[in-house]
Every structure is written in C-alpha cells, then in structure tokens.
Amino acid sequence: MSKKKMSFVLALTGSLLFAASSAYAFGDFGTDVNTACAPAQPYTGSCALCHTGGYSAPTPAKTAYLNGGTALTDYFCPSGPTCTDSDNDTFALEGGACGPVDCNDANAAVNPSAAENCTDGIDNNCNGLIDAQDPAAVGCPPVCTDADGDSYSVEGGACGAVDCDDSNAAVNPGAAEVCGDGIDNTCDGVVDEGCPTTPVCTDNDGDTFAVEGGECGAVDCDDTDAAVHPSAVEDCTDGIDNNCNGLVDALDPAAANCPAVCTDADGDGYKVEGGECGPVDCNDADATVNPGSAEICDDGVDNDCDAQVDEGCDPACPDADGDSFLDAACGGNDCNDLDAAINPGASEVCGNGVDENCNGTSDDTRTTCPEGGVLSITGALYKERKLVVTGRSHIRTRISIVDADTGQVLAENIRVKGGKWKVEIEKLARGYVPESIKAINTDGCETEKDVTVKGRQQREDDDERDDD
C-alpha cells in the first residue's frame, strides 16, 4: 500500500474511533439512569448491559441511554400500567389494573366513589345512570301522581295526604263527606261519617244480635238460632261456633265442657297432665312407675311419683312380708311387717277393727275426696236380677256401691286393680230394679250414674198385661 493510501486509512479509522468515542460518552451514565424513573429509584439491573466492550462497543442499554426520553425510561424503569389521573381524585381514565374508570378525569367530584346527585344532570358516580335513573341517587324530588288534578297524590309521604281515589277529583282528603252516596269522600276510611242514619238491623231469632254488623253491633253468625250469637259461651260438645268468633268447640280457648286431654302412654291408668286427669304420672314410659305404685327400696327410682327416691328405706331394716315397706321396729313405717296387706300404702277396710294403712286408727275413712283423687262409674247394667258395675279409681282404696235413691248398700270392699274396679251383684230381690247407683270409695270420693236396664220394656209390657 502506498504511503498516501495508508495515511488515508489511518485518518479514516481515527475519525471513526473518534466519532464512536464521542457518541458513547458515559461520564454521568449511572446518575442519569438512577434518576430517569418517576419516582426516582436506583437501577437494580445488570451493570454488564452498560459496561460491555468499552466505550466504543454499542449495546441496547447504551443506545437507550443515548436516545433519552421514553427510550431511556422504557428500558431502565420497571414496567407497569399507565394510569392517568389528571384531576387527582385517585381514579384513572384507563381502568383495568388502574382500578375503576374515572369517566371525567377533569372533574375531581366525578368518580366511581362519588354520590349520584339527583339535580345536576351528571353521572356523578360513573355507573352510566344519571340523576333519578340511579336508585342510589340523593336529593331526588318525590314522584307525586295526581291523575284527577285535585292536588292530592296517591303516593302520600312527601307528596302529602293520600288520595284514595285518583280517578275522581271529588274524592280526596280535602273533600267534604257526602251523605247517602256510599262513598268515602274524605279518604278517612269511613263512609258517610257524621251523617244521620237509621241502620237496618235484622234479628230474626230475637237474640238482640243482627246479621248486618257495623252500626247494628256484633254480627250474628246464625240468625235462626237464638242460642248462637257473639255473647254466647262456646260449648265444646256440639260442633257449632256458638259465639260467632270463627272457632268451633275445642279450637276456641274459651270453650266450656271440653273433655280433658289425658295422656297415658304406658297404660297404667295414670296420666301426665294431672288436674282433671288425676294424679300426675311422673314416668309415662314405665307402667310400674306411677302415683299408685309402692316405693321399691334401693332401685334409685321414684316409684310412687312423690319426688322422693327410696323414701322410708333403711338398708339395715327388714321387709319381712315383701310389701316394700320396712318394719317400723327398726325405723321403717310398716306397722305389721308379717302381713303384706298391712302397710302405709294399703286401703283401710271398714268394719274389721284393723289398722290396714298404719296410721294409728282402725276403720278410719275420709269425708272428702283428696286432691287428685279419681273415681268414676264407666258402666252400670241391670239384667235378670243381676247388676254389673265397672269403673276407675286411684288405687289403695276400696269401693262401695249404694242405691242413689234409697241409700241401700248393694256391695262393699271392692278392690281396685291397676286403676280399675268391677263388681257383679247377683240375686237382687224380685221386683227390685235400681234406677241410679252411687259409688263411694274409702278416700271420700263419690260419683253417681243411671243404671241401664236390659229387658225393661218387656217387663213393663208384662206388668201392663197383668194389670189388665
């Protein structure tokens, strides 16, 4: 190569190197990169991106730095959404990762968190609904409907008094009542108030209650029966709404003569309800536990339903006769521990001079029926000089049958078993037919029942023939 050509090449190479060295002057590179992002933050990437090949070797990082502007920030700043919030209300135009869309970024009072104002014609909360279209809007005037133009609306409330007929301008809360037209002109819920009237009151059965009701008083629900009217007592046995309250028999809590509801799940003759049903059965799932049972020692059960367990029991005291009552000689209450028929739970037998119930008195009787005592005659049938009587009673008592008309004792000392008793009285005197009998127990309870006589009509016919 000639000296002249060599000089040209060296000059050209030197120019290129000088140009490269001038283009890649990075004296403030680190400072500029650290402050390029907003907000400013130290660059944490690889420094090798900028310090590779010396000043003269171009790299993407050096090129981005030299180009400056968005090229610099896009390369060196963390990526993320662009969020425009010109009105500084914390909501951006872009939405998405920037949050709910600000539909007006020039007005800080308009954004998704604003309250919809019903009076300004603007979608304040950016939900697409303006003023009254938005159910959540505030400051909306009430909607008042006045179809008949009488200045009263059907809505009431903020619209004023309620117009009860918005199709008739003569009917509203400010109108005067027109007598005799059968219309509530004043919308007060009353027709023809203050008008002199003579109501038509129909009372066919003469019980002082009419079928019309209203000014005629309480409605008579059956004007053909003087015993049925609003002041009558509901009778639980006739299947009629006696007092016209819409409730028949036991459905009416005020009904009279309703039979007691008595529950006896275990069939021991004792009910859980008490009261009219008799002594309370404290365990209706066990027929051996009831007020008529004897207390059994050491079983941990209140056998006789007196709220005490194993009362009167003494482990050191014997029960020689096995009647569940311990010998009184060692602290028990059985006055004769050799006779199972004598104990505090036994019934007193009248006339034998024996103290069966260990109360210290022989032949004692009650004069009144004890609280919770039960005695009833369930059947009394006479046929061919034989009287059969059945009934129920609380136990530990004896029953006597007496002619209710003459007082003649027909049977006595009838035992009660499981709450029931029965007696058959045979060979009654010829011609003697009891009309009504009375049952009396040794606890002072008594009850009466008419006797059903089989063959009565035949005997009466025979007697008539004999008289002829």
Report the Cα–Cα distance between both ends of the chain, in Å, rounded.
Answer: 185
- Nearest C-alpha neighbor of 352 from the set 362, 339, 342: 362
pTM of the predicted model as reported, rounded to 2 decimal places: 0.26
Q: Indicate whether 353 belongs to any domain.
A: no
Q: Is the peptide bond before 39 cis (omega within 30 degrees of 0)?
A: yes
Output the pLDDT for position 453: 92
Final residue belonging to a domain, choices 57, 76, 95:
76
Number of domains in the chain: 2
Output the pLDDT for position 362: 60
**What pairs with residue 382 in β-bridges?**
387, 453
Instruction: Output b/e per residue, 116-127; b: 16+ Cβ within 10 A.
Output: bbbeeebbbbbe
Instruction: Output b/e per residue, 344-360; b: 16+ Cβ within 10 A.
Output: bbbbbbbeeeebbbbee
Query: Which tokens is 188 given?
Result: 């007060």
Q: Indicate whether 95 belongs to any domain.
A: no
Output the pLDDT for position 129: 94
Q: Indicate whether 399 belongs to any domain.
A: yes
Final residue belonging to a domain, choices 33, 56, 76:
76
Final residue belonging to a domain, choices 39, 61, 76:
76
Output the pLDDT for position 17: 31
Q: At 11, which helix (H) or strand (E)?
A: helix 3-23
Q: Indicate whether 66 belongs to any domain.
A: yes
**What pairs with residue 392 in β-bridges?**
376, 420
Residue numbers of the domain that contains 393: 375-457
Q: Indicate whether 385 belongs to any domain.
A: yes
Output the pLDDT for position 371: 74
Residue pointed to by tokens 């046995």:
237
Q: Indicate whether 39 belongs to any domain.
A: yes
Residue 304 burial (CB < 10 Å; 0-12/13-18/19+)?
buried
Q: What is the CATH number of the domain that holds 413?
A: 2.60.40.10
Output the pLDDT for position 219: 94
pLDDT digit string (tens) for the chain, length 468 residues: 333 333 333 333 333 333 333 334 445 677 777 777 766 666 667 777 777 766 677 888 788 778 877 777 777 776 667 788 889 988 998 888 889 999 998 999 999 999 999 889 999 999 999 988 898 899 888 888 899 999 999 888 888 899 999 999 999 999 998 887 889 999 999 988 887 667 788 999 999 999 988 889 999 999 999 999 999 999 988 999 999 999 999 889 888 888 888 889 998 889 988 888 889 999 999 998 999 888 777 677 888 899 888 776 666 677 778 887 777 767 677 788 888 888 887 876 665 667 787 876 665 555 567 777 788 998 999 999 999 999 998 888 889 999 999 889 899 989 988 788 999 999 899 889 999 999 998 888 889 999 999 875 545 554 554 555
Q: Indicate whether 178 belongs to any domain.
A: no
Q: Indicate whether 398 belongs to any domain.
A: yes
